[in-house]
Amino acid sequence: MAEAVVSIVIEGIKPLGDLIVREAKLLSGVGYQVELAQVELHLMSAFLKDADSRTGDDEVVRIWVKLIRDVAYDLEDVIESFALKVASRRRGGTMKIALKRFACVFNEGIDRHKIGSEIEDIMTTLSHLRSSLQSYNIRQSDPPQRVASFKFQKQRDLRRTYAHEIESHLVGLEESTDILVKELVREGKRHRVVSIWGMGGSGKTTLAKQVHLQNEVKRHFDGFAWVCISQQCIGRDVLEDILVKLTSPPEERRKQIAKMEKDEIAKTLCGIQTEKRCLVILDDIWTHEAWHSLKPGFPVNEETESRILLTTRKKEVALLASRNDFLHQPRPLDEKQSWELFQKIAISGSDSTICAKKTELGKKMLVHCSGLPLAIRMLAGLLSRRETDDEWETVLRNVNVYIMRGTNVLDRQNTGQDYGVLSVLALSYDDLPSHLKLCFLYLAQYPEDHEIPVKRLTQLWIAEGFITSTSEIQGSVEIMEDVSYGCLTELVERSMVQVVNYGLSGKVKTCRLHDLMQDLCLQKAKEENFLGVGNFSVGPVSNATLIGKVRRLALHLDENVKYEFSGKDGRDGHIRSLLYFAPKYFNRKWNKRIIRSIFNDFKLLRVLKFENIDREFELPKTIGNLVHLRFLSLKDSAFRALPSSVSNLVLLQTLDLRGCLLSYCFFWMTKIRYVFSNMEQLRHLYLPSQHSVSGKKLSFARLRNLQTLLNVSIEKCDLNDLVQLTNLKKLGIIASQPSHLKRLKNVLILRSITYEHLRSLTLTVYRGCDDLRRDIVLRCPHLYKLQLNGKITALPEELLGYPNLTKIKLRGTRLKGDQIEILEKLPNLRVLYLDVFSFESETMVFSQGGFPHLEFLTLHYLRDLKEWRVEKEAMPSLQRLRIKYCKELLAVPDGLQDITTLKELTIDRMPSRFCSRFGEGGEDFYKIKHVPSLIITNILHLDEEPEMEEAAGASRVVVTGPVSDSHQELTVDGMCD
């Protein structure tokens, strides 16, 4: 981890050193010192990989690594602080600044001497630390394939598994075992690999053992070999082990095998697996390289009935080895299974019953295990030696500590066979390359069970410098985001991050951390001074609790606690990231001093996330002093205006001002000034949906790296700038007059401009102009998503030629029913939102074979719709249907009964006469009885139907119960009386 920190520091201070030399000619000596310090850090980083791998075993080495990390941080602080002073003095060019030039030169001379002395002290410290390398037996790291690390060598035997070991407590494996057995014994002459993949501790090895022990498997195969693969896999040795186990040779033959070259062993092995049916179990294979080193020993392209059963933590390895044959991911144990396993271990044989108090305590603790068998075993083993209720309560109070320290406790109290969940999780962490360690530890900022938006996360990683500029290839503006997303997918494939939702493109949209992974993440982040968390939701947090050289600070706010925190005393001046997590619409009154502190006292900030503050406040002009900012989000926060000083933030990559609307005064819009012209690094700009412009029109002329531009008003920006942003991937345009859209169209045509990279387009037009919208859409040939807001008479038929168009949202378009014919012919449309006032017909018909790939459909506030017909074979892929506040609709269509793919039907804010048709025996029950999930929410009474605005604020009461045995779920979610 220290190696990663040093790499980021080197990358970060290089441009600052250049700034010092370029902007302050008198300080060339300082620039030279910065270069020397970079060289020294480069030399140290070669040794840090070895030292990092040993910090868990050697206290002296741990201290040495911490000192190196702190020195790197000190160097970063000194250089960035000085660069801040240089930048502030050089800013502008007015007569006032010119008159102060002599004073600036004098002050720079003083500062040069000061920074020179500080860097010299740091260099001396680095030199002393490097000279101590030999004393601590720290060496320059060898390539990982040649030398196993000290820690992994020590742990390998402890982690080694054996096929003959019998698990004493097994729960919840029956279904998975049956599935895997059937796959292994399936008839066929092609060599197959069956893979089990998942997080460490999820029961992969236990499951593989159970499969191996099944009588059906034993009868089917002639020979067996179980081998545990170390992280430093030596292919020849593993293949030798397999050969010996499959053939059980006499002593003389074993000696001959020991002298064989790898190629000879591999050839012999392939011959044996071709001649007879063999099952080889490769337990815990970690890398592509390991698989490639073993692959020559298997007859992968020959006719054979031999099989491989493989376990791995990495999906990418499973996919590579299995060649899409069969992948299986064990499910976590459910609540009942978790309790069954817990009882088997925690309750001794002499005490076969468990009292109500212990049951309550045990189930509370089991929540932390999230169904992971290894975590449950560790916790249960800990409690098995505690007999009284008081002892169990003590464990409950300290359950997080016991989970994090469980390895040592179990090693002292048990035989060490259960190695402990922390060691398994930590080993996955230790295996990460340095840049992924940084990405993983950054997740410590999020509250427990927080659903993390992936796009925002990747933007933050880039802003932090984890995805460095060296990743950019041939000036591409897309590569940074692609590399950043690749880091996320690798963490997912390593089972360290869980996927919550996928987007339409198949990419991960939101993710989360498993509770135990979050514990590990928080612990490691704290140890490294990487990130601190102040959780105000559990009580007051003072500065004293956050003292230290922590570089990033996440503050979890709550309405009910007093918030007091600032960096004015200088202890927190080193903080680079300040991340506020407030509940949605956080309405607590903020002390002006606190607001000023945020923007005055943390001058080295690179990331500031100040969201969901639903209380009017002024942004101080001093925000312009945060010249190191790469990421600034004020999303859903009610600030009055964006100060002109924001133009100083020339390093900004992401600026998010969405939802910035004063809650008490809707006609007074947030003021946005002419501040973007110098932000050449800006990649994502999100403007408020409603804003006014103070002074000159907004200029985007120099924003060549811009990929996202949302809520841009044509009348408030320079059109010549807008049409030059041809690298945009996401664009949202607002036009209050047809003339505005016509001007944009004319400029696009005049310059023959096409948005080749644009994937998402939102057009909001308040008055007419159908043809103009059509012409602009035709300038975006590769759209995936299209949203049209505002009245139009017809959809452009040219959309039929858009093969990538997968999502359409219409709102206020007031189309006639015949326009459905265009939508239903779109070849790859998967998501369709027919939103408020999008259609004005009484009848809507989905024709036979229409919408062939539609998966999600929403009908919302189609106030004239009375009859909806779905003809045969329409929407054959539909999975989710939502009908909301279409109060004139008489019934759901008969055609729904033929859509066997439909998984969920939601009825929201519909009249009681409509909702009553779905109960068992109801008029429409036969149409929807095959749907696994029916959700009815906010039923409206005919005589008291609220207007749309009132319905939107309806209260919710939850009542659950089955419609019939065929339904898995029925939710009736409140009524609007």
Query: Mind listing the pLDDT tens digit for each residue in 628-653?
Result: 899 999 998 888 888 999 998 988 99
851: nearest Cα among 808, 884, 903, 815: 808
Which residues lie below 8 Å from residue 166, measured CB to CB, with a gap of 6+? 213
Q: What local confidence, expressed as pLDDT, does residue 559 receive? A: 58
Cβ atoms of 48 and 3 closer than 8 Å = yes
The answer to which of 78-87, 144-153, 223-232, 856-865 has the lowest mean pLDDT is 144-153
pLDDT in tens, 153-170: 344 444 455 454 445 567
pLDDT at 969 over 60: no
Domain segments of the chain as ranges: 2-131, 150-328, 338-420, 432-527
**pLDDT cut 90: percent of the chain above it:** 25
Q: In terms of residues, how long is the chain?
A: 977
- What would the mean pLDDT of 658-664 be, rounded to a whole number? 62
Q: What local confidence, expressed as pLDDT, does residue 890 receive? A: 94
Q: What local confidence, expressed as pLDDT, does residue 838 receive? A: 94
C-alpha–C-alpha distance, residues 455 and 482, integer Å: 11
Q: What local confidence, expressed as pLDDT, does residue 833 receive? A: 97
Q: What is the pTM of this model?
A: 0.71
pLDDT at 151 over 70: no
pLDDT in tens, 555-571: 887 655 555 555 554 44
Q: What local confidence, expressed as pLDDT, does residue 398 receive? A: 64
Q: Is 63 helix (H, G, I), strand (E, B) or coil?
A: helix
pLDDT at 263 over 50: yes
C-alpha–C-alpha distance, residues 373 and 148, integer Å: 29
Environment class of 593 (CB within 10 Å of its CB; exposed 0-12, middle 13-18, buried 19+) = exposed
The answer to which of 312-316, 734-738, 820-824 has the lowest mean pLDDT is 734-738
Q: What local confidence, expressed as pLDDT, does residue 920 receive? A: 78
150-328: CATH number = 3.40.50.300
Q: What local confidence, expressed as pLDDT, does residue 427 receive? A: 57
pLDDT at 441 over 90: yes
Q: What local confidence, expressed as pLDDT, does residue 3 receive? A: 60
Cβ atoms of 276 and 266 closer than 8 Å = no
- What would the mean pLDDT of 841-845 be, rounded to a whole number? 95
Q: What local confidence, expressed as pLDDT, does residue 487 receive? A: 92
pLDDT at 93 over 60: no
Structure tokens at 425: 């999780």
C-alpha–C-alpha distance, residues 478 and 474, integer Å: 11
pLDDT in tens, 785-808: 999 998 888 888 889 989 999 999
The answer to which of 128-142, 537-551, 780-794, 826-840 has the lowest mean pLDDT is 537-551
pLDDT bin (cut points 50, 70, 90) of residue 425 is: low
pLDDT at 304 over 60: yes
Q: What local confidence, expressed as pLDDT, does residue 276 receive? A: 87
Which fold, 432-527?
Arc Repressor Mutant, subunit A (1.10.10)
**pLDDT cut 70: percent of the chain above it:** 70
Q: What local confidence, expressed as pLDDT, does residue 38 receive? A: 66
Mean pLDDT score across all residues of the chain: 77
pLDDT in tens, 497-549: 878 888 877 789 999 887 677 888 998 898 888 898 887 655 555 554 454 66
* Beta bridge pairs of residue 807: 785, 831
pLDDT at 417 over 60: no
Q: What local confidence, expressed as pLDDT, does residue 444 receive? A: 95
pLDDT bin (cut points 50, 70, 90) of residue 695 is: confident
Q: For the residues of 238-270, what is the DSSP string, one character each?
A: HHHHHHHHHH---HHHHHHHHH--HHHHHHHHH
Q: What local confidence, expressed as pLDDT, does residue 836 receive? A: 94
Q: What local confidence, expressed as pLDDT, does residue 684 receive? A: 96
What DSSP character marks residue 813?
-
What is the Cβ-side half-sphere exposure of residue 258, based on CA atoms within 13 angstroms? 7
- What would the mean pLDDT of 405-420 be, rounded to a whole number? 40
Q: What local confidence, expressed as pLDDT, does residue 853 receive? A: 96
C-alpha–C-alpha distance, residues 857 and 851, integer Å: 10
C-alpha–C-alpha distance, residues 677 and 616, integer Å: 27
pLDDT at 406 over 50: no
pLDDT at 16 over 70: no
Who has greater pLDDT, 956 or 822? 822
C-alpha–C-alpha distance, residues 532 and 552, integer Å: 6
pLDDT at 850 over 50: yes
Q: What local confidence, expressed as pLDDT, does residue 42 receive? A: 66
